Structure 1
Amino acid sequence: LCSLFFSLSISYSLSLHQMRSDEDGLQAVDELVRTYRHSCAWFLGPFYNMVRLFHPDYVKPLLLAPASITYKDELFYGLMRPWLGQSLLLTNGTKWSRQRRLLTPAFHFDILKNYIYIFNKSTNIMHENWRRLLAEGKKDFNMFEYVSMMTLDSLLKCTFSYDSHCQECSGKSDEYISAIFELSDLAVKRQRYLPHHWDWVYHRSAEGRRFRRACEIVHSFTAAIVQDRRSKIDQQGPPESFTQTAKRGYRRTVDFIDVLLLSRDENGEGLSNEEIKAQADTFMFAGHDTTASAISWVLYNLAMHQEFQDRCRSEINDLLSGRDSEEITWDDLSSLTFTTMCIKESLRLHSPISAVTRYYSQDMSVPGERIIPAGSICLISIYGTHRNPDVWPNPEVYDPMRFDPDKSKQRSSYAFIPFSAGPRNCIGQSFAMAEIRVVVALTLRRFRVLPGSKPVKRFYMIVMRTEGGLPLMLEPLMPAQE
């Protein structure tokens, strides 16, 4: 395979230093992109090799490939299978196609509108905590800590109609929430320690036993809710759609589990309890940490660029001026034009997910008459594509005007791919963007966000984070709501 890559004129690198996920490692990737511009081959010890791609023209044919020939590789995704099961994230072929069709209604706009009230409420709780802590004299706020708990709070309500009160517990978490955090950490550690890639080694290790125990907790929680909800629907019929009555709490509205239980394919068959459990576990995994990272980095970038923060705040204040309530509605989201530009530029510069990986059952053609052999792992670098100087002039500069509609028309639609693209794009991207806009708008309405007391060094876990947290300072702008 090595000689084949040479003959195809694909640049290569043997530097394991560039596999690091800290600030130095990310800067090494920046240098890699500046050097090779479109792609390179990587060799990870004697066992794995891959092609890494970071230019829209090279990424496009891979992301557009039909689902019938596109597969998730076991190197990166297979290690999560004991946790996430046969979910949309991990399945392939006809099974994936059927699941995608059945899950699509769960992310229809009519369903997403239901969740805006939840986003507002969870954000209000976070802001109340911030005001209390500011009154007690707190200065630096680790955004990841607070925003991650807030997005988890929202996701539990949207997925299960479960109010964990996790934002109000002074750092104490219930067993399920603790298990979610532990599984995320253990998944990263396993991926980075090669001997633990073999199940028979990992399951005998202390970390493997912790992973199995956390899986049991998460699976038991989800299975109990799915079984109970199916029984209630069988006895009482489906819940009513979202109404003002439901909004005021007199009756529970439709959540993610309800939609999955009620979905039917063309043959009138629905998802099994096991399939629903896998989708819900995946939604919890993929939904809270990525969105928390995105929100935290938006606030960081606006703290570092007060002129853009002021312009966003002016847009938000104009939108909410004269209203009795500060609640952001679904219809408001389309009016947050400049704020959305700032969010997108932050997603470009600090994309929560650094890459997606695939392999293909047939040879894949990329520009320059190059061929990627069937079965090769293809790492589609979101980070590299977003920072490619051939696509983004001065890519390290935060400039929301890149996303002015006129400028966006001039770029490839595969130059900006924070949610991936093509048939296997992120099914929850509209959900995520709605939550990000609500949280950012309410936060800028009520607080001025300022840089923290220490410099930030990036660090990728499953998502883009920082070493030692992301400290920011907050200055309240309005009295707390009643």
Structure 2
Amino acid sequence: MPDSALLPPAPTDGLPLIDISATGPGPAPLQQAMELSRRHGPALVRRLHGRDALFVSDLDLVTELADETRFAKHVGPALENVRAFTADGLFTAYNDEPNWARAHDILMPAFALGSMRIYHPVMYQVSRRLIESWDRAAHSGSPVDVPGDMTRMTLDTIGLAGFGYDFGSFEGSEPHPFVEAMVRCLEWSMKRLARTPGSDHSAADAAFKADADYLAQVVDDVIAARADAPEGDDLLGLMLTARHPDGSALDTANIRNQVITFLIAGHETTSGAMSFALYYLAKHPAVLDLVRREADALFGDAADPEPTFDEVGRLTYTRQVLNEALRLWPTAAAFSRHAREDTLLGGRIPLRAGQPVTVLAPMLHRQPVWGDNPELFDPSRFTPEAEAARSPHAFKPFGTGERACIGRQFALHEATMLLALLVHRYRLVDHADYDLTVKETLTLKPEGFTLALVPRTSADRKHPALPGHAPVEERTAAPDTLPARVRPGTGVLFLHGSNYGTCRGLAEQLADDVAALGCDTAVAPLDTHAGALPTDRPVVVVAASYNGRPTDDAAEFATWLDGAPDGAANDVTYAVLGVGDRNWAATYQHVPTRIDERLDALGGTRLCERAAADASGDLNATVRTFTTGLRAALLTQYGDPDAAPADTAEPEDAYEIREIGGGPLDAAAARHGLVPFTVTEASSLTAPDHPRSKRFVRLALPEGVTYRTGDHLTVLPAQDPALVERAAAAFGVGLDTVLDIRARRPRRDGLALDRLLTVRELLTSHVELGQVPTPDQVALLAEANPCPPEKAALGALADDPRTLVELVEDHPALRGALTWPHLLDLLPPLKPRHYSISSSAERSPAHADLMVSVLDAPARSGRGRFRGTGSTHLAGLRPGDTVLARVQPCREVFRVPNDSETPVVMIAAGTGLAPFRGAIADRGALLAAGTPLAPALCYFGCDHPRGDFLHADELRAAEAAGAVSLRPVFSEAPEAGHAFVQHRVAAEADELWALLGSGARVYVCGDGARMAPGVRDAFRTLFRDRTPGADDAEAERWLAGLIADGLYVEDVYAG
């Protein structure tokens, strides 16, 4: 990305040109730009020390700028300054930096609907900290610092929800030092824009560097706190463990940049939005009364309500208030775009490729489309009807396009819940008759804004409900006048378009629901029916949009549908449930609406009307309503007239008989597609005194099962018998008790059971015992605990590392208090584990070998040992035992080639050697048959040559035969200073560079938290040192090119 000084100058022909060099932008550059726009119109050029900047706020111009085919995000001077401490984080990355797309794709699931539900309890937990602080202020009669407390809350929320790190901001009277350093960094970024050329700013720059170093240190501490347990569904867990679809992962430096970015963006802007909302509520009693009434109607007269995730979605007027505050003062108040090619903006402003344009969001939000008095605070501007009548580009508080704020739903959910809780609990008193003063530090906040608080009473909360706020109807059954079931043989196909699982989950939920009517159901991605839809059964589409485009599993279907000939949907009966987020107004429901309209135009028949579910509203209420309509429509059109209502049905037989054949795990095996494999060999791969055991397990393949070298084996484990006994004792249940567990409705993610079973069988083979409960599950434990002190202790837990068994042991009142429905909600179904096959299909087609690293480490709770479920199970196997498993093909790009043209570099640590052992054996068989092969190098890391040099004799024999050149590295006995594989890779860079020049392919397998990033760093250094003038960015692009071309492939994990 070129320096901004080298960009084309701003066009000035026909536009007002205002030179502010004499005065500078002052302490409030955004508000100065707003005033210039008021005086000179919605398109102007501002000049500062010879540099021109084009500012616009006209709706038509902004609509053009939102066109991703013509314009892209521009990292302007302000963000260039922020890059000094966030580098290639999501907000400040250049569009062409590989880490932007990589991080965006990896992190998007963290902001999907399912993740929002996970974050909700953390948001509530931190809101309680704020409320406790405000209760103390109310009791003492002290006013509260609104922006300061909002900052404390939002910092703790993003720290805990995103990274599992507690800043403890309410534990002292002063802000956390991270906040102070961050604010100073933002102020430095803003003030740097106004510097006079030639002035000395070395002292300010030195102070900034100290602050930036402190931010980096705090973030390094956050990351280090997770080093021993990187897994998790939060942002940091994804960054440490997840891989991009191309196989790449985020490097250590980029993870730091992303954490700093989210800590800033995740709390600084959200706290400003809530502060402005509270300011406007304090100044508009009529609006405050409506917000209070909405909260009181939802929460009742409880002083300490605990809203659910779905209840927050019902706070529609509160959201309107928040949106109106964001309209007047969007806390990230400007964003820049640049032209992809030479073009005319608005048919009159010439722009050259790369030319930036800055959108002033507050002035866009004051354009005529907002009415005659846009300065007036009026939440009615955001009723659904008003929003539908207005251009989606008129409201841009979070930027635009795919570079818009990724965390907007997180921020709005947090803010909506908190506003409702605060107005429900307190009367807000504007004791100082505050006049709004907006403070700028690149973001905006009301400076010096305080409120006095008066606790509300139960009587205060009793008033008539607001119109339109009747309780939500939970019933999803069909009307009694319809048949009870559909005709036998009636099928329904559910097709989903889902990138992150929300629509797939809803499709499965709907399928389970209509299966109760007797329907034969199937669930599949939309792309599986690109080309034709069935006419023998109705089709229900559950789809979302991704920046206005189809999701990955619906792209082919959408292309086919757009080009399908007239009549292509004749005789197709269909229904569409669209899922979206109104925050993305420009593309809300775009794809599901298009599918519904195209199917109608092509001759299809609607089974029921399209429903639009809003992820940031009451999505579940929409889904319930759609489910009710779908069930009624199915029973109306396909109902069995002979299916009498339940109360007039024929008398049932005295007994219900089920014949159950097969084994006790057949249902689980069928669920996961597993078959029995027999163990033929089992032994240790490490020396007896080695502290980290690794086991060799050989399995005979069942008849008809084959594999290819490099494939994986998916295994269903069993729990350690000692842990099973411990769990039963904690829960207060007998191991020999027999259970008859029947799902009220079939669930694809439920327990796979088809028979009676004992508690021992349930705990051993069907549920997870080593997982840490989610916040929702801890809340369930608190609710079920009959002991008040223990209930309170459980309610106060946050990010606790204890497993369910440990929590129940530590709260003995729970023993016997948890019913079986409770326990089954708390114990997830046991999941299969995945292992790389280490044998060669060429040499050993009848069996599959595994290398198993046995996880046995101190428990994160600090009590006893934690033993991995899968590895402990496999480590205990002996010849003659059986395991349920299946062969899982690896990615084709990870298959090691065996030819005379392609050199191979294999890099592994520990049992990551597994797929390479098989590849080396393949090469040995080919060489023995006279096939010439290109060179192959194998770097692999061990602890000690006498401790864990895995399959040493076999590999040395392969090297002697010419199949491979071994490059072992021993961390406890380093040779030539090489403790880890990346060290030896760096030392032998000349040889590797030559092989890369000959078309070599690099394969990396094993530890994704430390080894794989280290190897990537070594390869980037290899390129940079041998490419004159290359910098870090060019090295990154080179490595990204290797990955994109399949020349550098990873199969890594973290743990």
In structure 1, how many angstroms separate the alpha carbons of the residues matched to 2:352 and 2:205?
34
Matched, 1:163 2:166: yes
> Residues 356, 314 of structure 1: CA spacing in aligned structure 2 closer, same or farther, 3 A cutoff?
same
> Residues 350, 111 of structure 1: CA spacing in aligned structure 2 closer, same or farther, 3 A cutoff?
same
Match of 1:462 among 428, 439, 442: 442
Alignment match, 1:251: none
> Residues 207, 21 of structure 1: CA spacing in aligned structure 2 closer, same or farther, 3 A cutoff?
closer
Matched residue of 1:105: which SS?
Answer: helix
> Residues 172, 281 of structure 1: CA spacing in aligned structure 2 closer, same or farther, 3 A cutoff?
closer
Alignment match, 2:110: 106
Shift of 1:133: 1.8
Does the CA contact (< 8 Å) of 2:341 and 2:353 recur in 1?
yes
Matched, 1:127 2:131: yes
Matched residue of 1:318: which SS?
Answer: helix
Alignment match, 1:250: none
Does the CA contact (< 8 Å) of 2:83 and 2:92 recur in 1?
yes
Shift of 1:401: 0.8
Alignment match, 1:245: none
Match of 2:203 among 206, 212, 221: 206
- Render the CA deviation track for 1:139-198: whole Å, top value 9, x for unaligned: x3321111111111112112221122211212263x5444333323333333333449x9
Alignment match, 1:242: none
In structure 2, how many angstroms separate the alpha carbons of the residues matched to 1:18 and 1:75?
15
- Render the CA deviation track for 1:32-70: whole Å, top value 9, x for unaligned: 23642x311221121x21111102211122233259x63
In structure 2, how many angstroms separate the alpha carbons of the residues matched to 1:392 and 1:373?
34
Does the CA contact (< 8 Å) of 1:358 and 1:378 recur in 2?
yes
Alignment match, 2:425: 446
Match of 1:326 among 289, 305, 313: 305
Does the CA contact (< 8 Å) of 2:158 and 2:267 recur in 1?
yes
How do residues 83-482 of structure 1 correspond to structure 2 at under 5 angstroms?
A: 83-94=85-96, 95=98, 96-138=100-142, 140-171=143-174, 173=176, 175-195=177-197, 202=201, 205-227=202-224, 229-233=226-230, 238-239=231-232, 254-321=233-300, 326-389=305-368, 391-453=370-432, 454-467=434-447, 469-478=448-457
- Render the CA deviation track for 1:340-392: whole Å, top value 9, x for unaligned: 11111111012112211233342243223432223333111111101223544
Does the CA contact (< 8 Å) of 1:126 and 1:146 recur in 2?
yes
> Residues 71, 308 of structure 1: CA spacing in aligned structure 2 closer, same or farther, 3 A cutoff?
closer
In structure 2, how many angstroms separate the alpha carbons of the residues matched to 1:466 and 1:217?
27
How do residues 18-97 of structure 1 correspond to structure 2 at under 5 angstroms?
A: 19-20=25-26, 22=28, 26=31, 29-30=34-35, 32-33=37-38, 35-36=40-41, 38-46=42-50, 48-66=51-69, 70-94=72-96, 95=98, 96-97=100-101
In structure 2, how many angstroms separate the alpha carbons of the residues matched to 1:158 and 1:4?
42
Shift of 1:300: 0.6
Moved more, 119-128 or 340-349: 119-128
Tell me the TM-score normalized by structure 1: 0.85
In structure 1, how many angstroms separate the alpha carbons of the residues matched to 2:268 and 2:352?
34
In structure 1, how many angstroms separate the alpha carbons of the residues matched to 2:60 and 2:140?
53
Alignment match, 1:243: none
In structure 2, how many angstroms separate the alpha carbons of the residues matched to 1:64 and 1:97?
19
> Residues 457, 182 of structure 1: CA spacing in aligned structure 2 closer, same or farther, 3 A cutoff?
closer
Aligned length: 449
- Render the CA deviation track for 1:247-295: whole Å, top value 9, x for unaligned: xxxxxxx422012223221222211121111111100111111111100
Does the CA contact (< 8 Å) of 2:141 and 2:453 recur in 1?
no
Does the CA contact (< 8 Å) of 2:10 and 2:53 recur in 1?
no
In structure 1, how many angstroms separate the alpha carbons of the residues matched to 2:431 and 2:362?
25
Unaligned runs of 5+ residues in structure 2 are: 1-6, 459-791, 793-1055
In structure 2, how many angstroms separate the alpha carbons of the residues matched to 1:6 and 1:182?
35
- Render the CA deviation track for 1:216-257: whole Å, top value 9, x for unaligned: 222123234335534434xxxx34xxxxxxxxxxxxxx4220
Unaligned runs of 5+ residues in structure 1 are: 240-253
- Render the CA deviation track for 1:397-420: whole Å, top value 9, x for unaligned: 001111111111121111111011
Q: What root-mean-square deviation, in Å, do the aligned CA atoms of Structure 1 and Structure 2 show? A: 2.8
Matched residue of 2:344: which SS?
Answer: strand
> Residues 4, 264 of structure 1: CA spacing in aligned structure 2 closer, same or farther, 3 A cutoff?
closer
In structure 1, how many angstroms separate the alpha carbons of the residues matched to 2:179 and 2:437?
27
Matched residue of 1:326: which SS?
Answer: coil
* Letter of the structure 2 residue corresponding to residue 5 of structure 1: P
> Residues 41, 184 of structure 1: CA spacing in aligned structure 2 closer, same or farther, 3 A cutoff?
closer
- Render the CA deviation track for 1:312-356: whole Å, top value 9, x for unaligned: 111111111277961122101221111111111111012112211
When Rg is computed on C-alpha atoms for both structures, the one with the higher figure is 2
Shift of 1:27: 7.3
> Residues 192, 119 of structure 1: CA spacing in aligned structure 2 closer, same or farther, 3 A cutoff?
farther
Matched, 1:5 2:11: yes
Shift of 1:311: 0.7
In structure 2, how many angstroms separate the alpha carbons of the residues matched to 1:40 and 1:158?
42
Matched residue of 2:427: which SS?
Answer: strand
Does the CA contact (< 8 Å) of 1:79 and 1:187 recur in 2?
yes
> Residues 57, 170 of structure 1: CA spacing in aligned structure 2 closer, same or farther, 3 A cutoff?
same
In structure 1, how many angstroms separate the alpha carbons of the residues matched to 2:182 and 2:20?
33
Matched residue of 2:249: which SS?
Answer: coil
- Alignment identity in percent? 25
* Letter of the structure 1 residue corresponding to residue 287 of structure 2: F
> Residues 18, 315 of structure 1: CA spacing in aligned structure 2 closer, same or farther, 3 A cutoff?
farther
In structure 2, how many angstroms separate the alpha carbons of the residues matched to 1:73 and 1:423?
14
In structure 2, how many angstroms separate the alpha carbons of the residues matched to 1:417 and 1:4?
23
Does the CA contact (< 8 Å) of 1:62 and 1:364 recur in 2?
no
> Residues 169, 195 of structure 1: CA spacing in aligned structure 2 closer, same or farther, 3 A cutoff?
farther
Moved more, 329-338 or 25-34: 25-34
Matched residue of 1:449: which SS?
Answer: strand
* Letter of the structure 2 residue corresponding to residue 129 of structure 1: S
Higher helix share: 1
* Letter of the structure 1 residue corresponding to residue 65 of structure 2: L
In structure 1, how many angstroms separate the alpha carbons of the residues matched to 2:207 and 2:15?
41
- Render the CA deviation track for 1:97-147: whole Å, top value 9, x for unaligned: 333212211211111212211221212111211221222231x33211111
* Letter of the structure 2 residue corresponding to residue 85 of structure 1: A
Shift of 1:3: 10
Does the CA contact (< 8 Å) of 2:272 and 2:446 recur in 1?
no
Moved more, 397-406 or 183-192: 183-192
Matched residue of 1:232: which SS?
Answer: coil
- Per chain length, whose mean CA-contact separation is higher, i.e. which structure has more relative contact order (CA < 8 Å, sep 6+)? 1
In structure 2, how many angstroms separate the alpha carbons of the residues matched to 1:118 and 1:2?
47
Does the CA contact (< 8 Å) of 1:34 and 1:389 recur in 2?
no
Shift of 1:307: 0.8
Does the CA contact (< 8 Å) of 2:178 and 2:218 recur in 1?
yes
> Residues 148, 364 of structure 1: CA spacing in aligned structure 2 closer, same or farther, 3 A cutoff?
farther
Does the CA contact (< 8 Å) of 2:53 and 2:358 recur in 1?
yes
Higher strand share: 2
